[in-house]
Structure 1
Amino acid sequence: MTYRVCFVCTGNICRSPMAESVFRARVVQAGLDGLVEVDSAGTDGWHEGEGADPRTVTVLREHDYDAGHTARRFDPSWFARLDLVIALDSGHLRALRRLAPTERDAEKVRLLRSYDPAADGDPDVPDPYYGGAEDFAACLEMVEAASTGLLAAVREQVEGHAA
C-alpha cells in the first residue's frame, strides 16, 4: 500500500515544490521509494502549468535536489487518496481544513514545521517570493530541518501499514 503525502503552499512555485523535492530525496535515501508517493500543489491556481520559481530552482540545484516541477492547484477531491497534507504556513492550514470534505480529511492536514522540534513555536515557513536568494536559502533550511521529523513520522506510518 502506497502512503501519499502532498505539500501545499500558495502558488506551488516556491515553498511546496521545494518541500516536495527535499522530502522525495529523503524518502529515496531512506529506501522508502515505492512505498511513499510525494507531490505538491498550491491553494491558488495563479501559476498552474508553470515551472518552479527560478530562485527555487537555483537553491534546489545548488543543494543537489531535483528541480523539475509543474505547478498545479490543490483539488479537495484529492483528500480521498492522500494520507497526509502538509501545509507550509498557518494560512494554508486553515484554507486546507476548510476545503476538507470530512473531519477525518481535515485531520490529515498538518504544518510542516510541526515536525521540527527546533521550530520554537514558529509554525510557518515564510514565503520567500518577495525576497532574495537568502530568503530562498533560509526556506530550504527550514524545509530540510522539518523533513527529518516528517520522515520519521511517515516511516512509522508506513511500517504500521506493513505490519
Structure 2
Amino acid sequence: MKKKILFVCLGNICRSPAAEEIFRQLAARRGLSECVEADSAGTYGGHAGELPDMRMREAAASRGYRLTHRSRQVAEEDFDRFDRIVVMDDRNYEALHRLAPSRELAAKIYRMTEFCRRHPDRTYVPDPYYEGRAGFYLVLDLLEDACEGLLDDLALE
C-alpha cells in the first residue's frame, strides 16, 4: 500500500516544496517511487498558486532538484488523504494540531527533525526566507538528512 506524505511549512514556498522534491528523488533512487507519494502545503495561504521562492529554487537546482510545486494551504481533508504530515517547526506543528479534526488524526503529525540522523541536535528546520544564501543550503542539508531518515522509518513499517 502506497504511503502518502504531506510536508508542511508556513508559506509552502521554501522548506516544504524542497522537502517534497528531495523526498521524491531519494525514494526514486531507492526504487520506491511506486510505494510513496509526496505533496506539500503551507499553514498560511497568502502564497497560494505561487512557485517556490526563487532563492530556494536556485539552491535546490544546484543540487539537482527542480522545484515546480505550486503553493497551497493545508486543508482539513489532508488529514484523511495523507498517512503522515511532516512539519518544519513548532509553529506549524501547533497550527496543524489546532486544525486536526480528531486526536487520532493529529497523531499523523511529525516534526521533520525527528527523522534527522546527521543533525540530531536540530529541533526544527529554520525558515530561510529572511536569511542569506547560506540559510537555503542549511535547509537543504537538513531536509536531505531528514528525508533519508523518513524513508528508513517508512521501510520499517
Are 1:104 and 2:113 matched, yes or no? no
Partner of 2:149: 149
What percentage of aligned pairs have identical amino acids?
38
Partner of 1:62: 62
Q: 1:108-123 maps to which residues of 2 (within 5 A)?
A: 108-123=108-123
Are 1:25 and 2:25 matched, yes or no? yes
**Structure 1 alignment gaps of length 5 or more:** 158-163
Residue-by-residue CA offset, 1:14-48 (whole Å, 9 max, x unaligned): 00011111111011111111221101000010100
**Structure 2 alignment gaps of length 5 or more:** none
Partner of 2:130: 130
Shift of 1:146: 1.1
The one-letter code of the counterpart of 1:74 is V
Q: Give the secondary structure class of the aligned counterpart of 1:75.
A: coil
Number of matched residues?
157
Q: What RMSD, in angstroms, separates the aligned Cα atoms of the two structures?
A: 1.1
Shift of 1:87: 0.3
Q: Give the secondary structure class of the aligned counterpart of 1:67.
A: coil
Shift of 1:156: 2.2
Greater helix proportion: 1
Q: 1:77-92 maps to which residues of 2 (within 5 A)?
A: 77-92=77-92
Q: 1:121 to 1:134 in 2, by over 3 A?
A: closer
Are 1:95 and 2:106 matched, yes or no? no
Scaled by the length of structure 1, what TM-score is found?
A: 0.92
